[in-house]
């Protein structure tokens, strides 16, 4: 009997295996660090200190975490329906336009808590709209969604640059960005939350969108495991033929799943655009959409797993930034390497350790 069909307990599949993949990714990263002449243990220490050592460090870590939760959820929702959405990056980018438009039109008139729900909707609608065309092409014309979402990342980037350079730019200014939002268009920082733990946030842009992200985690969990739509998405994702048998409409389910996925990606924009820089800037997404792929794979597409994985990548991003100050030899891009290794081991090579695992598990069980 092939090892692929041997069942493993959940704690191995969802706990030990991702951990093992992560460890291997880190070991290889450690080798890279060692190769360029630095001490990996020292680097790890600096990384942890830089991301969790002080109040503001934690604030930055959680700020990144927030973005990654959104994009991780985005990738995960599409994944459950059997779709690989590589377009979260572009959807988040265009989602920023929705958030910014809401902020720009409301910030002079209302306080932030009135703006916020509209901004959430604006970001989600714009993100979803950017996912709609690839979704429609997949559902109705059979165009491969991986390719179309990649293409839409670039089209979205071109569109946003055009809008920022030609339309949204403040007349007379050089920088391609919108005007700064008034407080009515900004999401407040979560100083009080940090204070509860006796920490000072300092300049870190940890803001209310973190709470929105947590709410979205809950809603995605409800969607996937508690709703009829989620049930249909999962059926389609696991067994398209069973979905046909059960009368689950393919095109509708694909499109809705992608709209939700795009909407979640779009909401990511709230965090940097309204929670941090208070304006829409070029390339504000900064690869968070792609990190979402790693986060979703690591977190096994479960909101709880995604929170942990997003936190991990938040630590890497913040700690990595700090590390590059302390050890100039190690640039921030070390995180990108680790991210790539995590995707490689947790995603593409997820079955590599499985046969060994099954072997050990069976021996262990017999003994």
Q: Which of residues 77-96 bind another protein (CB under 8 A)?
A: 84, 86
Binding flags for another protein, 288-317, as an x/- string (CB under 8 A): --x--xx--x--------------------
Interface with another protein, residue 234, by CB under 8 A = yes
Phi–psi pair at 177, nearest 5 degrees:
-155, 165
Interface with another protein, residue 143, by CB under 8 A = yes
**CB of 192 or CB of 366, closer to another protein:** 366
Phi–psi pair at 281, nearest 5 degrees:
-125, 165
* Binding segment (CB under 8 A) for another protein, from list 49-57, 97-105, 124-132, 139-147: 139-147
* Distance from C-alpha of 191 to C-alpha of 168, rounded to nearest angstrom: 31
Which own/partner pairs from 16-19 qualify as long-range (CB within 8 Å, at least 24 positions apart)?
A: 16/357, 17/350, 17/353, 17/354, 17/357, 18/298, 18/299, 18/300, 18/305, 18/346
Structure tokens at 43: 């680097």
Under a CB-based contact definition with an 8 Å cutoff, are residues 119 and 181 in contact? no
* Distance from C-alpha of 265 to C-alpha of 57, rounded to nearest angstrom: 25
Interface with another protein, residue 172, by CB under 8 A = no
**CB of 32 or CB of 199, closer to another protein:** 32
Interface with another protein, residue 36, by CB under 8 A = yes
Structure tokens at 241: 């033929």
Interface with another protein, residue 8, by CB under 8 A = no
Structure tokens at 254: 């694909």
CA-based radius of gyration for the chain: 21
Interface with another protein, residue 241, by CB under 8 A = yes
> CB 162 → another protein: shortest distance, Å?
4
Interface with another protein, residue 34, by CB under 8 A = no
Interface with another protein, residue 365, by CB under 8 A = no
Closest by Cα among 129, 117, 291 to 215? 117
**CB of 105 or CB of 227, closer to another protein:** 227
Interface with another protein, residue 171, by CB under 8 A = no
Interface with another protein, residue 147, by CB under 8 A = yes
Binding flags for another protein, 150-169, as an x/- string (CB under 8 A): xxx-xx--xx-xx--xx---
The total of other beta-carbon atoms located within 10 Å of residue 176's CB is 19
* Distance from C-alpha of 201 to C-alpha of 199, rounded to nearest angstrom: 6
Under a CB-based contact definition with an 8 Å cutoff, are residues 102 and 119 in contact? yes
**CB of 7 or CB of 198, closer to another protein:** 7
Which own/partner pairs from 197-200 qualify as long-range (CB within 8 Å, at least 24 positions apart)?
A: 199/54, 199/55, 199/58, 199/59, 200/55, 200/56
**Residue 317 CB partners (closer than 8 Å, separation 6+):** 61, 64, 291, 335
> CB 345 → another protein: shortest distance, Å?
8
Using CB under 8 A, which residues numbered 212 to 231 contact another protein? 222, 226-229, 231
**CB of 118 or CB of 136, closer to another protein:** 136
> CB 366 → another protein: shortest distance, Å?
18
How many residues touch another protein under the rule CB under 8 A: the total is 72
Q: Which of 19, 31, 242, 304 binds another protein (CB under 8 A)?
A: 242
């Amino acid at each position: 009997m092939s090892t692929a069909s041997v069942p493993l307990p959940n704690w191995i599949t969802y706990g030990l295996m991702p951990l093992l993949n992560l460890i291997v990714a880190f070991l290889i990263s450690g080798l890279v660090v060692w190769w360029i002449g630095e001490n990996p243990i020292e680097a790890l220490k600096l990384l942890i200190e830089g991301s969790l050592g002080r109040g503001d460090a934690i604030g930055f870590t959680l700020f990144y975490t927030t973005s990654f939760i959104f994009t991780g959820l985005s990738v995960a929702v599409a994944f459950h329906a059997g779709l690989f959405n590589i377009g979260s990056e572009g959807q988040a980018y265009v989602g920023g336009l929705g958030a910014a438009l809401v902020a720009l039109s409301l910030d002079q008139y209302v306080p932030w808590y009135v703006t916020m729900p509209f901004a959430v909707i604006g970001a989600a609608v714009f993100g979803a709209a950017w996912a709609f065309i690839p979704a429609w092409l997949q559902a109705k014309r059979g165009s491969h969604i991986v390719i179309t979402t990649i293409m839409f990342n670039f089209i979205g980037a071109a569109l946003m640059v055009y809008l920022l350079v030609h339309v949204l730019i403040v007349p007379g200014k050089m920088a391609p960005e919108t005007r700064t939002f008034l407080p009515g268009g900004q999401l407040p920082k979560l100083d009080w939350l940090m204070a509860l733990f006796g920490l000072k946030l300092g300049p870190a842009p940890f803001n209310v969108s973190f709470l929105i992200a947590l709410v979205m985690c809950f809603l995605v969990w409800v969607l996937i495991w508690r709703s009829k739509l989620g049930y249909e998405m999962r059926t389609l994702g696991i067994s398209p033929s069973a979905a046909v048998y059960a009368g689950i409409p393919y095109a509708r389910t694909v499109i809705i799943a992608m709209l939700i996925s795009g909407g979640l990606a779009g909401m990511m924009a709230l965090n940097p655009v309204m929670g941090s820089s208070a304006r829409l800037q070029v390339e504000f997404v900064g690869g968070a959409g792609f990190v979402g792929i790693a986060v979703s794979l690591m977190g096994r597409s479960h909101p709880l797993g995604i929170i942990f994985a997003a936190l991990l990548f938040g630590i890497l991003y913040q700690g990595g930034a700090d590390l590059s100050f302390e050890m100039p030899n190690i640039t921030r891009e070390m995180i990108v390497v680790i991210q790539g290794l995590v995707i490689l081991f947790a995603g593409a090579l997820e079955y590599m350790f499985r046969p060994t695992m099954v072997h050990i598990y069976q021996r262990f069980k017999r003994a």
